[in-house]
Structure 1
Amino acid sequence: MTTAVLITGASSGIGRASAERLAKRPGFTVYATARRPEAIADLAAAGAKVLALDVTDEDSMAAAVDAVQEQHGSVGVLVNNAGYGEYGTIEETGMDAVRRQFETNVFGFSRMIQLVLPGMRAAGSGRIVNIGSMGGRVTFPVGGYYHATKYAVEAITDALRFEAAPFGVRATVIEPGLIRTGFGATAARTMAASGEPSGPYAGLRAAADEQMTTAYASAVLAAEPDAVAKAVERAATARRPRARYTITPAAKTIIHSRRLLGSGIFDTYLRLQFRSTK
């Protein structure tokens, strides 16, 4: 009997790369999901099964999990990937935008875990691979609300890892650094729309946009989605998966530096990076 892998947010980026990689692995039946199934129809040719799943819709989430459990008894591996970055300053970002981001990145993410766990417990095994971010360990300006959602992913995964272990369920968080997906474009678009062009944070937003554009274009700082997919595969198949997999050398360096430097020195570093701030 094959292991059923359910992947959320598989229409692009990390989710798509994970579906393509795991579909090639013997013993796995991959269920790739997206809000619009037509956006992932081509993944069927790669060996995946395609389902509709919107992590902001309870019926949609329950139906997808039920479909997998009907065929396999339980979800063997949940790759909890759906999410996006809504950028803007703390003062300027509208609360409706903040709520939408938490609905996807935290509440839908959490509900998927709740839906698959009963089947995993009954089976006595399972893997939950949560896609977090370097941004769940370190915070940059103009991304505070996004970072808050990823700090939540870290906390939920840490609690889950302990709670689910007695039932044979392993939980892991993947912490990507800069990955060349549509994330950067979405972050830039929402940041530009979050405040007035001549507003009090215009200089800061311009500096953040410049930093983001430069970093994503860097061959040293950014990586392709398959770098994350490889870690997802390890977390799904290792006999003893790590609690965390941090992706890209730059992400590891930044997290380690933030821990060593403390808030004061790290803030000085940020002021240098965002020196066009008014």
Structure 2
Amino acid sequence: MTTETALVTGASSGIGEATARKLAGLGYTVYGAARRTDRLQKLTADGIRPLAMDVTDDTSTTAGIAQIIAETGRIDVLVNNAGYGSFGAIEDVPLDEARYQFEVNVFGAARLAQLVLPHMRAQRSGTIVNITSMGGKIYTPLGGWYHGTKFALEGLSDCLRLEAQPFGVNVVVIEPGGIATEWGGIAADHLRKVSGDTAYAGQARAVATLLSSDANAKRNSPPQLIADAIGKAVRARRPKTRYTVGFGAKPLIFVKWLLPDRAFDAIIKRATGVRN
């Protein structure tokens, strides 16, 4: 039996690293992709193959998929994990930065899906896993551009699922809650830089404090929890369309569904420490 092949983007740390190790443990030939391969060398002990890839560069993504096909003859799993959170008031964030966040979080994932689909259709099997967030269902102050990318990837994934299903290709959305990674601290630092001295400074202080607080970090779930959900999804004959996993995700998404917008606004403002 030919070993199945998986590509995990953003594999240098956090969810991507845990997922690459999980899939390797399940017997996949795993390619871990990131812009800097030096941060991927720690994965080689588990047999994971480092792959230099910038998801915003079409030459890079095309060459990466071509290399995988040349070396293994197939692609069975794509985990679109590469992404980042750039917080700041919508008014304050330069449009170039907003566009770049969409390039990484949405268009990078979509382009890789375009590149793997011909191979998955030809073999009549495959799974595309898009990592969104509970932030693709709820919202927070000063996270407009980030949430916009995650809402967009949710909708794109639903359409792709309908399109790919007749060809035997599954499309799965993973919606992490709070996860113990570098994400919160990086987002907080950027938020302070962008909106810390503007009309939104009060909101920025509150949200940045929450994102970077030790108490918040201690509540967050380990990346392995997300990796385990991905492992379950790719091995399932009929995976769920969505896996909502991690601290706060299920209750917050449920409350958002249940409450009117202004009631949910009040809850989120209280939770983030934002005052009128």
* TM band (smaller chain): over 0.9
TM-score for the superposition, normalised by structure 2:
0.96
Is the contact made by 1:24 and 1:47 (CA closer than 8 Å) also made in structure 2? no
Q: Distance in 2 between matches of 1:249 and 1:200?
A: 31
| CA offset digits 1:41-95 (Å, max 9, x no partner) | 1211111111111101111101110111112332110011100000001111111
Gap change, CA 1:253 and 1:33, over 3 Å in 2: same
- For residue 240 of structure 2, give the secondary structure of its aligned residue in structure 1: coil
Residues 145 and 216 of structure 1: CA distance in aligned 2, closer, same or farther (over 3 Å): farther
RMSD of the alignment, in Å? Answer: 1.4
Are residues 186 and 219 of structure 1, via their aligned partners in 2, closer, same or farther at CA, if it must alter by over 3 Å?
closer
What's the secondary structure of 1:264's corresponding residue?
helix
DSSP-derived class of the 1:194 partner: helix
Counterpart of 1:187 in structure 2 is 187
Give the conservation status (yes or no) of the 8 Å contact 1:134–1:255.
yes
Please say if residues 196 and 205 of structure 2, whose CA atoms lie closer than 8 Å, have aligned partners that are also in contact: no
1:107-186 aligned at under 5 Å gives the runs: 107-186=107-186
Normalised to the residue count of structure 1, the TM-score between the two structures is 0.95
For residue 202 of structure 1, what is the aligned residue in structure 2? 201
Aligned 8 A contact 2:180 2:217 in 1: no
Structure 2 unaligned regions, length at least 5: none
Q: Distance in 2 between matches of 1:121 and 1:207?
A: 48
CA offset digits 1:192-216 (Å, max 9, x no partner): 111252x211100111112223476
Matches within 5 A, 1:246-257: 246-248=244-246, 250-257=248-255
| Contact 1:180–1:216 (CA under 8 A) maintained in structure 2 | no
Mapping 1:72-91, distance limit 5 Å: 72-91=72-91
Q: Counterpart amino acid of 1:133?
A: S
The residue identity in structure 2 corresponding to 1:211 is L
Partners of 1:19 and 1:46 in 2: CA distance: 9
The separation in 2 between residues aligned to 1:178 and 1:187, in whole angstroms, is 13
User: C-alpha separation between the residues in 2 aligned to 1:271 and 1:250?
Assistant: 16
Q: Which runs of 5+ in 1 are unaligned?
A: none
Instruction: Check conservation: 1:132, 1:173, Cα contact below 8 A.
Output: yes
* 2-structure distance, mates of 1:209, 1:196: 9
Aligned partner of 1:258 in structure 2 is 256
User: Letter of the aligned partner of 2:206 in structure 1?
Assistant: A
Contact 2:185 2:212 in 1 (8 A): no
User: SS where residue 45 of structure 1 aligns?
Assistant: helix
Identity %: 44
Deviation per CA, 1:229-276: give whole Å up to 9, x if none. Answer: 001101111111110000125210000001101201111213323455
In the alignment, which residue of structure 2 is the partner of 1:241? Answer: 239
After superposition, the C-alpha distances for 1:100-135 in whole angstroms (9 at most, x for unaligned) are 111100111110000000010011110001111000
SS at match of 1:179: coil
Name the structure 2 match of 1:230. 228
Change (3 A) 1:196 1:223: closer
Residue-pair matches, total: 275
Q: 1:27-52: per-residue Cα shift (whole Å, max 9, x none)?
A: x1011111111110121111111111
C-alpha distance in structure 2 between counterparts of 1:41 and 1:274, whole Å: 38
* Residue in 2 that maps onto 1:17: 18
Contact 2:128 2:171 in 1 (8 A): yes
Are residues 22 and 141 of structure 1, via their aligned partners in 2, closer, same or farther at CA, if it must alter by over 3 Å? same
Deviation at 1:217? Answer: 3.2
**Counterpart mapping for 1:20-35 below 5 A:** 20-26=21-27, 28-35=28-35
User: Per the alignment, do residues 206 and 163 of structure 1 end up closer, same or farther by CA in structure 2, a change over 3 Å counting?
Assistant: same
Contact 2:196 2:204 (8 Å CA) reproduced = no
For residues 175 and 230 of structure 2, the distance between their equivalents in structure 1, rounded to whole angstroms, comes to 10
Specify the alignment match of 1:211 in structure 2. Answer: 210
Check whether the contact 1:94–1:194 (CA below 8 A) recurs between aligned residues.
no
Q: Which amino acid aligns with 2:100?
A: R
In 2, distance between residues paired with 1:203 and 1:273? 15
Determine the C-alpha separation between the residues in 2 that align with 1:148 and 1:216.
27
